[in-house]
Amino acid sequence: MIESHMHRLVQMENSGLINMIVDEKYEDLGRMYYLFRRVSNGLVLIRDVMTSYIRDTGKQLLTDPERLKDPVDFVQHLLDLKDKYDKIITSAFRNDKTFQNALNSSFEYFINLNSRSPEFISLFVDDKLRKGLRGVTEEDVELLLDKVMMLFRYLQEKDVFEKYYKQHLAKRLLSGKSVSDDAERSLIVKLKTECGYQFTSKLEGMFTDMKTSQDTMQGFHASHGSDIGDGPMLSVQVLTTGSWPTQPITTCKLPAEILGICEKFRNYYLGTHTGRRLSWQTNMGTADLKATFGKGQKHELNVSTYQMCVLMLFNDADRLSYKEIEQVTEIPTFDLKRCLQSLACVKGKNVLRKEPMSKDIVDTDTFLFNDKYTSKFFKVKIGTVAAQRESEPENQETRQRVEEDRKPQIEAAIVRIMKARRVLDHNNIVAEVTKQLQSRFLPNPVVIKKRIESLIEREFLERDKGDRKLYRYLA
């Protein structure tokens, strides 16, 4: 009896299944579940309709450019969506496992439709750990982190997430902007449980470096405290290369006042750690400057190292051209323009004036110290330290680096498999490699083939002489 009306009930325009879901009519849904259970394929029908609805909604969310503008908002939406369906399944569908599975596979399907999902989830976490979790109880923190882990599990490209997470974590640690050290560590433990030690060993290395640096600074101040006197106060974080995201080596001439104390530190450090090499990461530092303006108003400016280099020039000159600044500081063009823009073109932060007053920085601009600068705050933060959604070209670059990183991982998997099996045909290699790497990313079969060919060329493998469909491991 129910069978013949099943489809009609489900599809009804204003009161069908989908409407019930949208309006969260738990009782009606519960009733439907109870009734349809008695019929073979009854539940299958509900599940299928629900699944395709979830997939469509999800797909829309993932491809809507408006929604994608704010990554934090976007991820919150995903979490809300998951919460909603979880509730339906618990309240109305009796926690039916098959429905849970259908929900999971739907989420897995649409989250991976957008290649930026890993980045966005990391930005969401960054936002929470930076400020969102302020004042939140420990239990609620755990709840949120568990939900984030749930989204993380759906990601096909976990290695992309790892890359962004590392970048964002680095920024948080170096700027001291993390809301809760416990929350940070809790998430790392969760990632370790999910993905194994290798995933998190470098992240843990970053925390270790921060702690070690604190100790180093204590030692440095103890031995040099009396020398400093009136000079700048230096605080150094010594980062172990390899644990932190790779940084390009940037040129930047530090002001003379700073160089002195930097050299003192370098000598101190190398005195206690022989055989190491230190290089200043001028693109990652910050500085607090005490500035006095026209009418004697004093402010403390929190700026990036680049901004500091630029501003210190105005101690000896009232006006400087772009070219002069570029020549003296040796800061790379793209960064210099961004730096000058943040100093001269942002309302409330314009400690420099620009002539002409246009929006963009060009080679022919001239900069002047803004005597008339005012702010109601004593401390003014000008440096951009918060992690932001990458621009298109930055995104492309990260993508490329991820692809490069994948190549050796794929090769290692191929060699491991062939070493064990000795002889294997092409399709099986592809299947095994995919299986081995699935916890990190989904390898492209074409890339796998390219790696096999590279291994053949380097004589790790050969094609079987009898059956050319087979590959043979060469000891």
Per CB under 8 A, residues contacting other proteins are: 425-427, 446, 449-450, 453, 456-457, 463, 468-471
Please give, one letter per residue, the 3-state secondary structure of 102-121.
HHHHHHHHHHCCCCCHHHHH
Query: Among 446, 450, 438, which Cα is nearest to 408's?
Result: 450
Alpha helices in 69-196 (DSSP H): 71-91, 97-111, 117-127, 138-154, 158-175, 181-195
Other C-beta atoms closer than 10 Å to the C-beta of 167 total 19
DSSP one-letter string for 374-438? --S-SEEE-S--S--PPPHHHHHHHHHHHHHHHHHHHHHHHHHHHHHHSEEEHHHHHHHHHHHHT
Please give, one letter per residue, the 3-state secondary structure of 259-306.
HHHHHHHHHHHHHHCCCCCCCCCCCCCEEEEEEECCCCCEEEEEEEHH
Q: Which is nearer to other proteins, 153 or 426 (CB)?
A: 426
Other C-beta atoms closer than 10 Å to the C-beta of 321 total 14
Q: Which is nearer to other proteins, 399 or 450 (CB)?
A: 450
Query: Among 298, 281, 282, 280, which Cα is nearest to 290's?
Result: 298
Q: Which is nearer to other proteins, 134 or 449 (CB)?
A: 449
DSSP one-letter string for 344-356? HSSTT---EEEES
Q: Which is nearer to other proteins, 84 or 407 (CB)?
A: 407
Tokens for 61? 């969310």
State how beta strands 461-463 and 470-473 pair. antiparallel
CA distance 386 to 123: 10
Q: Which is nearer to other proteins, 401 or 463 (CB)?
A: 463
Instruction: State the number of CA atoms in the 13 A half-sphere of 280 facing the CB.
Output: 19
Contact 380, 299 (CB under 8 A): yes
Contact 151, 111 (CB under 8 A): yes
Q: Which is nearer to other proteins, 381 or 463 (CB)?
A: 463
CA distance 237 to 285: 9
Residue 424: is it exposed, middle or buried by C-beta count within 10 angstroms (0-12/13-18/19+)? buried
Phi, psi of 23 (to 5 degrees): -90, 5
Q: Which is nearer to other proteins, 291 or 456 (CB)?
A: 456
CA distance 455 to 401: 21
> Minimum distance between the CB of residue 282 and other proteins, rounded to whole angstroms?
39
Q: Which is nearer to other proteins, 192 or 472 (CB)?
A: 472
Q: Which is nearer to other proteins, 13 or 457 (CB)?
A: 457
> Minimum distance between the CB of residue 453 and other proteins, rounded to whole angstroms?
6
> Minimum distance between the CB of residue 404 and other proteins, rounded to whole angstroms?
17
Q: Which is nearer to other proteins, 31 or 468 (CB)?
A: 468
Contact 133, 184 (CB under 8 A): no
Residue 70 to residues 112, 116, 172, 393, 405: CA-CA distances in angstroms?
Answer: 18, 12, 19, 18, 28
Rg (CA), the chain: 29
> Minimum distance between the CB of residue 420 and other proteins, rounded to whole angstroms?
19
Q: Which is nearer to other proteins, 123 or 429 (CB)?
A: 429
> Minimum distance between the CB of residue 469 and other proteins, rounded to whole angstroms?
5
Q: Which is nearer to other proteins, 66 or 457 (CB)?
A: 457
> Minimum distance between the CB of residue 473 and other proteins, rounded to whole angstroms?
14
> Minimum distance between the CB of residue 442 and other proteins, rounded to whole angstroms?
17
